Amino acid sequence: MQHAHPAAHAPEHETTTGLDHRKLLMWAFLGSDCLLFGALISTYMIYRGRSLAGPFPNGPEGVFDIPFTSVSAFVLLMSSLTMVLALAASQRGHIRGMRVWLIATALLGTVFLGGQFFEFTAFVAEGLTPATNVFGTSFFTLTGFHGAHVTLGVIILLSLVVVSLRGGLPKEESLTVEIAGLYWHFVDIVWIVIFTLVYLIPAPLPPHAG
Amino acid sequence: MAVPAEHHRAHPGPGEYIKIAVILAVITLVEVAVYYVPSLSGALTPILMVLSTIKFSMVVLWFMHLKFDSVLFSYLFVGGLGIAGAVLIALLFLFGASHTIVPGAA
Amino acid sequence: MATITGSMVGVLRRPTSHYGVWSWMTTVDHKRIGVLYGVTSFIFFLIGGVEALVLRLQLAFPDGKVVDPEVFNQLFTMHATTMVFLVIMPLSAAFFNFLIPLQIGARDVAFPRLNAFSYWVFVAGGVFINSSFLFGGAPNAGWFGYANLTSRAFNAGSGVDFWALGLLGLGTASLAASFNFIVTILNMRAPGMTMMRMPLFTWMTLVVAFLLIFAMPIIAVALIQLELDRSPLATNFFNPANGGDPILWQHLFWLFGHPEVYILILPAMGIVSEVLPTFARKPLFGYPAVVFAGVFIGFMGWGVWAHHMFTVGLGPVANSVFAVTTMFIAVPTGIKIFNWIATLWGGSLKFTTAMLFSIGFISMFIIGGLSGLTHASPPTDYQQQDTYYIVAHFHYVLFGGSILALFSGFYFWWPKGTGKLLDEGLGKLNFWLMIIGMNLTFGPMHILGLNGMPRRIYTYPSGMGWEFWNLIETAGSLVIALSVLVFIINVVRTSRNGKEAGPDPWDGRTLEWSIPSPPPEYNFATVPVVQGRDAFWIEKYGLHGGEGAHHAAPPSHTAGSGNGDGHAIHMPQGSYLPMVTAFGQTLMLAGVIFGYWLSGVGLVIMLGGVYAWCSEPVSD
Ligand SMILES: [Cu+2]
């Protein structure tokens, strides 16, 4: 029994559960990351109706632009499709197809990040910064953390493309694509939650506002 | 003894993935539409919660293959997700903020 | 991502030396990392202990003038922060690292380099927090750093930043280690080592690892919120002037803080569950009950956090709910205690030093548990909140519990790690001094607390009726210091002329005793096949054999069988990249205090480290 190949991962049947070490680690990490976003979302939900002064999420002084955010939510959702298509291509040994889908996924992620940048700029122009009120404080922190996760995901995807161009991602290594995909989909489902809780369900207005 | 738990039932193919993505897109469309229908505003929160839960589950079950993979992965993920959800609900009650999810329940 | 161009192989050649400082700094061997964890956290134990001694000297007499109030605040903050995050947690990690692969019959952990990374992040974080003494003052807001005391407006120095950023760094160490051990325990067990055959210590490690991966992100969020409030972004998380709520900090802190209590005590319970059966020469009584009680404690630990906040004014409903859950969580703890006592019952007991420390653990932990139960009830807690009664309670749990059990672990596994036995005579002196010292130090705190002496005061006037017990406490703390000195003497003396331990000095029950002491790098020459619980005992005495039924199959995993002398076994080579990456990460955090340019430098180093890590050749 040799398991001296941490990077090249031993064949799956050598582990007790039959599951790959790295994939097990990724799922444990995602379970853990749920708590990170759990704490951030909790903070936002507690604070969003407690601002002493505007701007507020919605209402007469509201800053949310639902049509715009819906489009970026849709973009991120579709990046999950391109991600699984990359995995399917990898598993079938269509290396070029895999690269195309990986690049498409990274591109959609970048479009989403661009949208977030635009949204942040617009909010600041309307007078909402992290320092303005507790809505701004908790909103920018929550969506900022999500954006950081997306950014890391884009870097991972592009790294995979580079590795593949050097011949490092053959069909046999499709598990690497699968594990990167798990992370990417997680970032997507977090946004599904944020889109509903933060954007679509209207925040109560503070009693003294508007 | 060691239980070889990963059956690796064949992952769904691109066709099924696209089908799932179309359903996800439609649900998103419905979500946004519901947001703009004034007569539904009373039931907005429950409708949106159900719809986003469906979306969430579809991505997890199909795109992340949890439906086809070892149940151990589900335990790891649902463990974290469950604690996070419980923490969120408990904190909303402790801060008297539960009405921020159900408007008018204050 | 393992492929690289040939030209890079030279730069990334992995260190191969087995001797000298460099070999220790680049090691990925779980046993060496365990030793490093142990030595480093013992040094922090001495630092935290000295801080406690200064606190006790200051309080020995009324109107004490040993230190001024500001230094006093820094010392009690650093004493607690050190003991929790730099001593008990990493000392437990020392045992995880050294023992887990040995107990489950594996040759290493799942991710050896990640393991080294955890260690180096821990060292860097510990040094970073303590360096605050040199940069304008240590953190001074208490180990739970309640919001508002930590706001820039009320705490302008950088001590709080050292504390928050340091804990963030240490959190990543714990997270990385926990992921590693979860995967190792689930995925690298020897054939036949089912979950319900795993040694209790391995079980408790698994529970602790899960607690850590779910609790650490919450405190990370709270610490980041705190640092954002203090940053130029000037957020309002804990700023009431702008709608923020300082109580949010308390919730987030204790949502982490209560599971943390079990993170500190479950490894101790695991150690005791190994020591008692060995020296009672009986299997652990009610093994499944002890396992499930541990898992249940881990689960219930999530539903009790607001018992730290009864006096906040959450209202009668919330207080009642958390009072009930808190009283309920005493049940699984009680189950464990009864099972340990039943393990001793009717056994042929051998009172070695390790055994004495374990029995000491049970007795002292019962006292701490019972006093804890008294403040599960909100009305009594209103009286006890912020008094020395609370200090008494958690020292009985953390010193009488965790520290005694960790010393039990030292005496028990020392021969496995070094090949030499610690001296039993000095060991018993160590034990008796420690148990007498701790009762003198922490026992009177119950009385002082109920008499109204508040925590965290830097002095008190005479005539309050507190003089006598405070003096006794200070005397007791010196006795504890003496006991630690005896331990150090024991270590130094036996390292020169200690008795050879041999592979199995205690007639052990678990797999680590089946291999030589100290174990070879590859642990097991042939991977053991596990027949049942207490795997090595069965191997020695057969499935139904009790004492005396010595089938005496000689330990088969020592050198000689299968792969010859083990030279054919291929072990991962060392790597300096975990250290580089950990260094980069710590610089990134330090940059928040010293200037963002430093964060940039740290980020570049860290990314370089990660990139090289992914491209590093598996072996030369
Ligand atoms: Cu607690």
**Contact C302/B83, CB-based, under 8 Å?**
yes
pLDDT, chain A, mean? 90
Give the per-residue pLDDT at B97. 67
Looking at residue A120, its amino acid is F
pLDDT-wise least confident of A105-119, B7-21, C286-300, C474-488: B7-21
Q: Quick: pLDDT tens for C146-180.
A: 998 999 999 998 999 999 999 999 999 999 999 99
The residue type of A133 is N
pLDDT given for residue C20 in this prediction: 77
Three-class HEC string of C203-254: HHHHHHHHHHHHHHHHHHHHHHHHHHHHCCCCCCCCCHHHCCCHHHHHHHHH
- pLDDT, mean of residues C231-256: 95
Complex ipTM value: 0.92
- Which residues lie below 8 Å from residue B60, measured CB to CB, with a gap of 6+? A185, A189, B66, B77
- Say if residues A168 and C2 touch (Cβ distance below 8 Å): yes
Q: What percent of chain C has pLDDT over 70?
A: 92
Task: For residue C54, list its beta bridge partners.
Answer: none
pLDDT band for position B23 (cuts 50, 70, 90): very high
pLDDT digits (tens, 9 = 90+) for C438-453: 999 999 999 999 999 9
Q: Which pLDDT score is estimated for B43?
A: 87
**pLDDT score, position A7:** 38
Find the distance separating the first CA and the last CA of chain C, reported in whole Å: 17
Nearest alpha-carbon partner for B77 in A202, C2, A30: A30
Distance C254 CA to ligand 1 centre (A): 7
* Residue at token pair 């949310």: A64
Residue C20's region, left for phi above 0, alpha for psi from -120 to 50, else beta, is: left
Q: Give the residue-averaged pLDDT of C41-45.
A: 97
Residues of C in contact with B93 (CB under 8 A): 318
Topology of domain A16-200 in CATH is Four Helix Bundle (Hemerythrin (Met), subunit A) (1.20.120)
Query: How many angstroms away from the CA of B27 is the closest CA of chain C?
Result: 31
Q: Quick check: helix, strand or coil at residue C528?
A: coil
Hunting for tokens 């040939």 — which residue is that? C6
Compute the distance from residue C258 Cα to the ligand 1 centre, in Å.
4
Confidence of residue C568 (pLDDT cuts 50, 70, 90): low
**pLDDT by residue (tens digit) across B60-98?**
999 999 999 999 999 999 999 999 999 999 999 999 866
Task: Note whether C191 contacts B86, CB cutoff 8 Å.
Answer: no
Question: What number is the average pLDDT over the span C261-275?
Answer: 96
What torsion do the CA atoms of C438, C440, C442, C443 make, to the nearest 10 degrees?
A: 120
pLDDT above 60 for C225: yes
| C87-99 pLDDT per residue, tens | 999 999 999 999 9
Q: Do C235 and A31 touch (CB under 8 A)?
A: no
pLDDT tens for A28-55 read: 999 999 999 999 999 999 999 899 988 9
What pLDDT score does C13 carry?
Answer: 61
pLDDT digits (tens, 9 = 90+) for A121-138: 999 999 999 999 999 999
Spatial distance between the Cα atoms of C406 and C272, rounded to a whole number of angstroms: 9
For residue C335, the distance in angstroms to the closest alpha carbon of chain B comes to 25
Residue spans per domain, chain A: 16-200
Taking a contact as any Cβ pair under 8 Å apart, which residues of chain B between 60 and 99 contact chain C?
A: 72, 79-80, 83, 86-87, 91, 93-95
Measured distance CA(C339)–CA(C287) in Å, rounded: 8
Q: Which two tokens stand for residue A176?
A: 């690497």
Task: Find residues 127-186 of chain A whose CB sits inside 8 Å of chain C.
Answer: 129-131, 133-134, 136-138, 140-141, 159-160, 163, 166-168, 176
Percent of chain C with pLDDT over 90: 83
In the chain, the amino acid numbered C52 is A
Residue type at position A34 = C
Residues ≥6 apart with Cβ < 8 Å to B80 = A30, A31, A32, A33, A34, A35, C213, C214
Fold annotation for C30-520+526-559: Cytochrome C Oxidase; Chain A (1.20.210)
Bridge partners, residue A62, by sequence: A56
Q: Is C148 left (phi over 0), alpha (psi -120 to 50) or beta?
A: left
Is the predicted pLDDT of residue C585 greater than 60, yes or no? yes
* pLDDT reported for residue C563: 43
pLDDT for res A59: 80
Kindly tell me if the per-residue pLDDT of C281 is higher than 60. Answer: yes
pTM reported for the whole predicted model? 0.93
Confidence of residue B11 (pLDDT cuts 50, 70, 90): low
User: Does the structure show a pLDDT above 70 at A22?
Assistant: yes
**Contact assignment for A24 to C108 by CB distance below 8 Å:** no
The pLDDT score that the predictor gives to residue B4 is 41
Rounded distance between C-alpha atoms, residue C600 and residue C596, angstroms:
6
| Percentage of residues in chain B having pLDDT higher than 90 | 63
Which segment of A75-89, C73-87, C546-560 scores lowest on mean pLDDT?
C546-560
Q: Is the dihedral of CA C387, C393, C396, C397 positive or negative?
A: negative
Nearest to C170 by CA among C75, C88, C265, C258: C88
What's the rounded mean pLDDT across residues C574-578?
88
pLDDT grade for A187, boundaries at 50, 70 and 90? very high
C312-370, pLDDT tens digit by residue?
A: 989 999 999 999 999 999 999 999 999 999 999 999 999 999 999 999 999 999 999 99
Please provide the distance, in angstroms rounded to a whole number, between the alpha carbons at the two ends of chain B: 55
pLDDT tier for residue A73 given thresholds of 50, 70 and 90: very high
When pLDDT is averaged across residues C562-576 and rounded to a whole number, the result is 66
**Looking at residue C549, what is its pLDDT?**
44
User: What confidence tens digit (pLDDT) does each residue in C101-143 have?
Assistant: 999 999 999 999 999 999 999 999 999 999 999 998 899 999 9
* Chain B residue at shortest CA distance from A198: B101
- Give mean pLDDT, residues C554-558: 48
Residues 6+ positions from C260 with CB-CB distance below 8 Å: C84, C211, C215
Output the pLDDT for position B41: 80
Cα–Cα distance between A106 and A162 in angstroms, integer? Answer: 13
Supply the DSSP symbol for C459.
Answer: -
Q: How far apart are the first and last CA of chain A?
A: 71
The chain-wide mean pLDDT, for chain B, equals 84
Quick one: pLDDT at residue C564? 46
User: Does the distance separating the beta carbons of A32 and B31 come in below 8 Å?
Assistant: no
pLDDT at C574: 82
Q: What is the mean pLDDT of residues C424-449?
A: 97
Chains that touch C (3 or more CB pairs under 8 A): A, B
- Inter-residue long-range contacts of C565-568, CB under 8 Å, 24+ positions, other chains counted: C565/C525, C566/C520, C566/C522, C566/C525
The 3-class SS string of B6-50 reads CCCCCCCCHHHHHHHHHHHHHHHHHHHHHHHCHHHHHHHHHHHHH
pLDDT at C1 over 50: no
Q: Is the pLDDT of residue B106 over 60?
A: no
> Are the C-beta atoms of B75 and B83 separated by less than 8 Å?
no
Q: Which amino acid is at C416?
A: K
Q: What's the pLDDT at B100?
A: 55
Task: Give me the amino acid identity at C308.
Answer: H
DSSP annotation of C310 reads G
Strand partners, A56: A62
Q: Name the one residue in this structure whose structure tokens are 């042929």.
A: C348
Whether the Cβ atoms of residue C83 and residue C169 lie closer than 8 Å to each other: no
CA B51, CA B42: separation in Å to the nearest integer? Answer: 16
